[in-house]
A and B are shown apart, each in its own frame.
Chain A
Amino acid sequence: MLNSRKQNMERKDIEIISRHSNWTEKGIDKVLKEEVYSDSKSWKGFLNLLFISLGVGFTVSGIIFFFAYNWADLHKFAKMGLIESLIILTTIAVLFSKLNLNVKNIILTGTSVLVGVLIAVFGQIYQTGANAYDFFLGWTLFISLWVVISNFPPLWMVFLILVNTTFVLYSQQVASDWSEVFVFSSLFLFNSLVLVILHLLLKFRNDIKVPSWFTSILGLAAIVFSTIGIIIGIFDNDQSSFLILLLLSIVAYGAGLIYSFRTKSGFYLSIIPFSIIVIISSLLIKISEDAAMFFIVSIFIIASVTLLIKGLLDIQKKWNNGK
Chain B
Amino acid sequence: MENDINIRKNIEYIRELEGNSFKFNETEIEKEYANSQKEKSSIAIKILSVIGGFLATLAFLGFLLIAGLHDSEVGLVITGIGFTGVAIWSNVEYKKLIIDTLSVSAYAIGLCLIASGLTALDVGDHTVCILLMLISLLTIGITKSYILSFISVLTINGCFIYLIIDSDVHSLIHIYDAILLVLLTYMFLNEAKLLADKRLPSKLYNPIRIGLIISLIIGLVFVGQRGIFDFGIKHIWVSSIITIPLTIYLISLIVKIIGITNTKSLYLIYSFSILFLIPTAISPAISGALLIILLSFLVNYKTGLVIGVISFIYFISQYYYDLNFTLLTKSIILFVSGIVFLLFYVFTHKKLGQNEEV
> Which A residues are within 8 Å of any B CB, using their own CB?
6-7, 9, 11-32, 36-41, 43-44, 46-48, 51-52, 54-66, 68-69, 266-267, 270-271, 274, 277-278, 281, 289-292, 294-295, 297-299, 301-302, 305-306, 308-310, 312-313, 316-317, 320
Contacts and interface: CB of A to CB of B under 8 A. Distances in A.
A254 to B, nearest CB: 20
Contact of A306 (B42, B57, B102): B102
A131 to B, nearest CB: 18
14 contacts: A19-B202, A20-B32, A21-B23, A24-B196, A27-B17, A44-B348, A44-B356, A52-B342, A55-B344, A59-B341, A278-B55, A297-B56, A301-B101, A305-B48
B18 A32 contact: no
Contacts of B105: 298, 301-302
A51 B345 contact: yes
B24 A21 contact: yes
Interface of B: 6-7, 9-11, 13-14, 17-18, 21-25, 28-29, 32-33, 36-40, 42, 44-45, 48-49, 51-53, 55-60, 62-63, 66-68, 97-102, 105, 191-193, 195-197, 202-203, 205, 254, 257-259, 297-300, 320, 326-328, 330-345, 348-349, 352, 356
Chain B residues touching A, majority SS: helix
B243 to A, nearest CB: 18
Given A15-B202, A22-B22, A57 B297 contact: no
Contacts of A61: 320, 334, 338
Contact of B338 (A37, A58, A306, A312): A58
B48 A308 contact: yes
Contacts of A306: 52, 98-99, 101-102
Given A22-B22, A24-B196, A61-B338, A69 B59 contact: no
Contacts of A292: 63, 67
SS class of chain A's interface: helix, strand, loop or mixed?
Answer: helix
A48 B45 contact: no
Nearest to A213: B306
B60 A298 contact: yes
Nearest to B67: A291
Contacts of B332: 62, 66
Contact of A22 (B23, B36, B258): B23
A313 B101 contact: no
A64 B66 CA distance: 51
Contacts of B203: 19
Nearest to B293: A50
B186 to A, nearest CB: 14
A299 B327 CA distance: 53
A268 to B, nearest CB: 10
A51 B257 contact: no
